[in-house]
Chains A and B, each alone.
Chain A
Amino acid sequence: GESVGLHLPTLSVQEGDNSIINCAYSNSASDYFIWYKQESGKGPQFIIDIRSNMDKRQGQRVTVLLNKTVKHLSLQIAATQPGDSAVYFCAENILSSGNTGKLIFGQGTTLQVKP
């Protein structure tokens, strides 16, 4: 079935360390993936996206890796800061399907940054 899930509900890291948040998806037809950050009391905010014809994409302090063989993607945050504390969601879509624009969201990982 279609589902997107994250491996760990909570990740605790020291300020300044790198963070890696993981996500597994089950639909091999998914060809587009997005990472969102949701701070307390706010709506999800777009971080970075990646299409299935890529295996890596970098942004400012963030990198998304996609492994289609094992249907896994990860979000790496370099030099984690207190402001990175939030819940992180991965989401998938099938853009080639004629598209409804619908995203399927995973369960979320809470990132806690220790000072």
Chain B
Amino acid sequence: EADIYQTPRYLVIGTGKKITLECSQTMGHDKMYWYQQDPGMELHLIHYSYGVNSTEKGDLSSESTVSRIRTEHFPLTLESARPSHTSQYLCASSEGRGGIQYFGAGTRLSVL
């Protein structure tokens, strides 16, 4: 059972608001990831981190930003939300040379 937590689970906000999606893991994993997923569709990597103070952009361009100040915490921020940001955001973590990623339950974001 993976110990990775995302909050909030659901978020409905208006255009222009700043939001932060939280992700925490208690497994001590060095690598963490953020994916964007439309319902039933494939996962697109938007950010990843190899460790503290390390962040990289993923394969899908995103207006969001991330930070990794602590090993266990990898928040994602949108400075000004737009309807095009409406999607599900999944956080994951893995250890070592790679392989299995463990996922949180996701945050379903709706921007009106």
Contacts and interface: CB of A to CB of B under 8 A. Distances in A.
Interface of A: 32, 34, 36, 41-46, 49, 87, 89, 93, 95, 99-103, 105-108, 110
Contacts of A101: 31, 33, 48, 50, 94, 97-99, 101
Nearest to B48: A102
B50 A100 contact: yes
B8 to A, nearest CB: 14
B100 A46 contact: yes
Given A34-B99, A101-B31, 11 more contacts: A41-B106, A43-B106, A44-B90, A45-B103, A46-B100, A49-B100, A93-B99, A101-B50, A101-B99, A105-B43, A108-B41
B32 to A, nearest CB: 9
B105 interface: yes
